[in-house]
Amino acid sequence: MRNKPLLSWVEEMAKMCQPDKIHWCDGSVEEKERLEEEAIKTGELIRLNQEKLPGCLFHRTDPSDVARTEDLTFICTSDKDSAGPNNNWMSPEEGYRKAREIFAGSMTGRTMYVMPFSMGPVGSPFAKIGVQLTDSIYVVLNMRIMTRMGTHVLDNLGEWGEFTKCLHGKADVNPNRRLILHFPEDNTIWSVGSGYGGNALLGKKCLSLRLASTIAKKEGWLAEHMLIMGIEDPSGNIDYIAAAFPSACGKTNLAMLIPPEGLKKKGYRIWTVGDDIAWMQVDSDGNLWAINPEAGFFGVAPGTNSLTNPNAMTAIQKDTIYTNVLLKPDGTVWWEDGDGAVPEEGIDWLGNPWKPGTGVQAAHPNSRFTAPITNCPSISHRIEHHHGVPISAIVFGGKRSHLTPLVYEALNWEHGVYMGAIMASERTAAQYGKLGEVRRDPMAMLPFCGYNMADYFSHWLDMGKKMTNPPKIFNVNWFKRDDNGKFLWPGYGENLRVLEWIIARCKGDVEAKKTAIGYLPMPESLDLNGLDLELEKLLEINQQDWIEETKAVSEFFSTFGSRLPQILWDEHNALCNRLKME
């Protein structure tokens, strides 16, 4: 290893954290097995039933450390405005000082692992290299699944190659001494006091979204909280779409859906490229191309079963790490709305004996599985392709019990950017906060845009101008409910019916109805064969509710002051006028 800046940085960090040992990860299977043994000995990990779940492990995080902590997540830039009202801000000096106090000596008695990793296929023009230091074996084993990690990345980095400096330490896993800090000016991330998912796997939200979005703005590309999937039609043609839904709103499920019976007969197949993050650039053909920078899934366990997501169920049968689910006496796992009968007993996510019917949750609502994407039966053959896949449609969506219809289409790119900017969703368990509360979450990026979102909207508008053939933009809502609180739409595999319409619109194959909010499907152009549902309610636009919504949007837009692009206000006023005319 000859990268001098890397060597001196590791040395400097070790001086601060004072680990007993430093281990450079090579990414090999032997190394993985050694680390597993070690973590099993200390109780950090439990080996699951190797006959039923070969290669699978189980982990419980601290009960105070089960989701991303957005209130402890900061962007540390010299100028506060560049972080925007969408981010918590600290000056870099303050950030380093506060975190240094927690990091100092925190690795005494522990090993510091050095993990070179690549987001994106190693050597791809899209790819970015990071090096994460951590004192958690659980984190090493997760990063090993979620990224391309090991010596080959160091080789690719070379002597003077640039990398993101990612420092992570659990310290004493105390929420009062927890900070997730981003220093975009230094290409640096410091995360301390958490061992959970998006707080601790620094290649994921911290590098691939918060830092990458900042770089993408400068370099003219997009880093987005989006799934990427291919939809192969009966003639064998594959159209790719990228879809942004907020955390725990259905990306993983849509990315690997299995066509429902009726549509399967037509010959559709789905190919999974990614379930959480998309990096997209305009290529020389004037189209938008996307890669998934990750190599695994860090997916929500509850609700995942062989009916809702058979591909995920197959993917997590081997070499998977389960976090905060129920441990069964036979060394397998379970969660609410999982496969099989409700177990008669087990150990819950808190480590306590559990029995059904006591009202206690078996698995935490944000319990997760970490599985390699190569385990997924629907994996796309272009997953390692250096230029990714061409995107035909961009889809926005969220959880809205009321208001937004099943699907609608933007009038043009600018209007589509507006549609993304006014997205809102009911809060889920993926982050701390009040469940169910509607919050504005533009492009599903509110917690992940590493700079002022007003500038992010301008960047989206600029991107439209760079493409000769920009993707069409849509909005979907699988979560609309009737007056009794029941979902109006069956969701999951049936969502393909909506994707079929979206692709048909991209190709110009079907007419649509122009409304105040955008284009809606003609009822007869959606294939609803075999479904019994209230389509009028699903496609309804309640004028009064929409007028109320525009007021909330005005308030939200105003938080950005004069930095918000005028085009978004123009789109907003145009929508208000169209609504009044209806």
Stretch that binds ligand GTP, among 120-128, 173-181, 201-209, 489-497 (CB under 6 A): 489-497
List the one residue from 132, 188, 252, 281 that touches ligand GTP (CB under 6 A): 252
Partner in contact with 27, chosen from Mn ion, ligand GTP, ligand SPV, none, beta carbon below 5 to 8 Å by kind: none
Rounded to 5°, the CA angle 149-162-179 comes to: 70
Residue closer to ligand GTP by CB (options 150, 420) is: 420
Cβ pair 256, 270 in contact under 8 A: yes
Partner in contact with 204, chosen from ligand GTP, Mn ion, ligand SPV, none, beta carbon below 5 to 8 Å by kind: ligand SPV
Cβ pair 88, 172 in contact under 8 A: no
CA dist 554 to 296, 342, 482, 560, 567, Å?
Answer: 39, 47, 28, 10, 14
> How many helices (H) and strands (E) in the chain?
16, 31
Stretch that binds Mn ion, among 85-93, 247-255, 402-410, 503-511 (CB under 5 A): 247-255
Amino acid at 523: P
Is residue 249 annotated as a catalytic residue, yes or no? yes
- x/- letters, 398..417, toward ligand GTP (CB under 6 A): --------------------
Residue closer to Mn ion by CB (options 247, 311) is: 247
Q: Nearest approach, Cβ of 298 to ligand GTP (angstroms)?
A: 6
Rounded to 5°, the CA angle 148-471-478 comes to: 80
C-alpha span between 567 and 549 (Å, rounded):
19
Site for ligand GTP in 364-383 (CB under 6 A): none
List the one residue from 32, 128, 168, 251 that touches ligand GTP (CB under 6 A): 251
Cβ pair 293, 127 in contact under 8 A: yes
List the one residue from 68, 144, 399, 427 that touches ligand SPV (CB under 6 A): 68
Site for ligand GTP in 417-446 (CB under 6 A): 430
Residue closer to ligand GTP by CB (options 322, 479) is: 479
Strand duo 346-347 + 57-59: pairing: unpaired
Residue 239 within binding range of ligand SPV, rule CB under 6 A: no
Residue 231 within binding range of ligand GTP, rule CB under 6 A: no
C-alpha span between 132 and 23 (Å, rounded):
12
Residue 307 within binding range of ligand GTP, rule CB under 6 A: no
Size of the site for ligand SPV (CB under 6 A): 9
Size of the site for ligand GTP (CB under 6 A): 22
Residue 198 within binding range of ligand SPV, rule CB under 6 A: yes
CA dist 57 to 60, 121, 190, 571, Å?
Answer: 11, 26, 27, 50
- Residues 6+ away with beta carbon under 8 Å from 338: 301, 302, 304, 305, 363
Partner in contact with 456, chosen from ligand GTP, Mn ion, ligand SPV, none, beta carbon below 5 to 8 Å by kind: none
Cβ pair 574, 555 in contact under 8 A: no
Q: Nearest approach, Cβ of 112 to ligand SPV (angstroms)?
A: 22
DSSP letters, 374-437, are GG-TTB-TTTT-TT-EEEEEEEEE---SSSS-SEEE-SSHHHHHHHHHT-EEE--TTBSS-TT-
Strand duo 128-134 + 148-149: pairing: unpaired
Residue 275 within binding range of Mn ion, rule CB under 5 A: no
HEC assignment per residue over 324-338: CCEECCCCCEECCCC
C-alpha span between 196 and 206 (Å, rounded):
13
List the one residue from 239, 276, 319, 494 that touches Mn ion (CB under 5 A): 276
Residue 430 within binding range of ligand SPV, rule CB under 6 A: yes
Residue of 17, 56, 249, 376 marked active site: 249
Partner in contact with 495, chosen from ligand GTP, Mn ion, ligand SPV, none, beta carbon below 5 to 8 Å by kind: ligand GTP
Residue closer to ligand SPV by CB (options 10, 371) is: 371
In our burial notation (b when 16+ CB lie closer than 10 A, e otherwise), range 248-279 reads bbbbbbbbbbbbbeebeeeebebbbbbbbbbb
Partner in contact with 413, chosen from Mn ion, ligand SPV, ligand GTP, none, beta carbon below 5 to 8 Å by kind: none
Residue 253 within binding range of ligand GTP, rule CB under 6 A: yes
Q: Nearest approach, Cβ of 341 to ligand SPV (angstroms)?
A: 29
**Which of the residues are catalytic?**
249
Binding site for ligand GTP (CB under 6 A): 245, 247-253, 275-276, 299-300, 302-303, 308, 430, 478-479, 487, 491-492, 495
Binding site for ligand SPV (CB under 6 A): 68, 197-198, 204-205, 247, 276, 298, 430
